[in-house]
Amino acid sequence: MPRPPQGHPVVIQAGDSPEGREFAASSADVVFTRHGTLEAGRAFYADVKGRLAAYGRAPDDLKIMPGVTFVLGDTAAEAQERAIEIRRQQVSPQNALLALEQVWGVDLSAYDPDGPLPDIDPDPESTLVQGRVKVGDPLAVAEKWRALSRAKGLSIHQTVIETTSRQSFIGTPAAVAEQLDEFVRTDAADGFILVPHLTPGGLDEFVERVVPLLQERGAYRTEYRGATLRSHLGLPEPVRKG
């Protein structure tokens, strides 16, 4: 097949282990991360960018782009209310029990999602969650969830919503634009991969209400400089061999 206009497709890699970070530094064009806080983002950014020189690559040869969600409102309070409602819609009672089983490692289908957390301890040796991401320390996670449940009087369903469903950026369009810009300005990210809570159409509100503010700040382009994804991301053209 002929080479594509951008030399070769943009390689987007996801992996937070030491091996994954090393692979990104050696071979990837973009790293898809899940670091939600500014501090965690800066630490990841510095670590991965610091590995590039060993492979003869410049800092701009690899873009770090966290996957993020957003909820907008005309006021901060309205945005928070919308975020809570979205969390409730995303986690059904049945999904809450499944999430709990990933921690406890036992069949919890007989439990009431609107009731309290199980009084039994998790089974660290369980194979129930085989094929999924296994919780590193289920006993510690269970105790943390129990403490939260007791402190706030939460049911199983409410506890899972509270602990597993978080939007990255919540606020007015101006506040979200400021937060996104701060991540890039302070070396916590090079950009973002937006993950809307609704599809299709979930990006429409962001495009209409946040993008213009980012453009006013000079943080987002007003026109494309090329015709490929590689050029849109500001990545160098790959070196042709042979």
pLDDT in tens, 135-174: 668 899 999 999 999 999 999 999 998 887 666 899 999 9
Q: What's the rounded Cα separation, in Å, for the pair 234 and 240?
A: 18
Task: Give phi and psi for 193, each to the nearest 5.
Answer: -110, 110
Task: Give phi and psi for 66, each to the nearest 5.
Answer: -65, 145
pTM: 0.79
Q: What is the pLDDT of residues 89-146, one digit of tens each?
A: 889 999 999 999 989 999 999 999 999 999 999 988 776 654 444 566 889 999 999 9
Ordered alpha helix ranges (H), 3-137: 18-27, 38-49, 76-90, 93-104
Both tokens assigned to 31: 């790293």
Cβ(186)–Cβ(42) below 8 Å: yes
Cβ(177)–Cβ(210) below 8 Å: yes
Domain ranges of the chain: 12-74+177-232, 92-164
Q: What is the pLDDT of residues 193-221, one digit of tens each?
A: 999 988 889 999 999 999 999 999 999 99
Residue owning tokens 């973002």: 192
